[in-house]
Amino acid sequence: MLKRPFARILSLYLIVALFALAFPAQGWAMIVPAGQAETRSADLAKVQTALESSVVRQRLLDYGLTPDEATKRLGALSDEQMHQFAAHMDAVQAGGDVLSDVLVILLIVVIVIVILELTGHHVVIRH
């Protein structure tokens, strides 16, 4: 079958590894910390403060969602979803962060052009 000793050892190792990976890993149950309820109330307060903004309220009304419906939907979120939503609210800006994206793209283009020029390639833009 396999005449080389390296191939035999490798195939034996792969068989054992695949057999070992076929079994699921053991899971451990943990107790939820007592501060979890406080975290949810803080996250809910943060989200409700953002929803009270006139811009956000108008946007929700544009989508056909009243403030009462938004509050009901917030209440239906799990603790993890609420925390994730509140954590990502700081990253979202009203106008988006287009300026930094454009600057990064321009910086990458300039770096590529400089590297091409240094390696002897010339960048020619034709209309």
Evaluate if pTM is beyond 0.85.
Answer: no
Give the span between the Cα atoms of 95 and 127, in whole angstroms: 33
Of 103 and 28, more confident: 103
Task: Among 4-8, 85-89, 94-98, 104-108, name the one with the lowest average pLDDT.
Answer: 94-98
Query: Does residue 53 sit in helix, strand or coil?
Result: coil
Instruction: Write down the pLDDT at residue 18.
Output: 81
* Lookup: tokens for 104: 């990064």
Give the span between the Cα atoms of 91 and 83, in whole angstroms: 14
Task: Average the pLDDT over 47-63 and give the result.
Answer: 80
* Lookup: tokens for 125: 């833009």
Residue 117 has pLDDT above 80, yes or no: yes
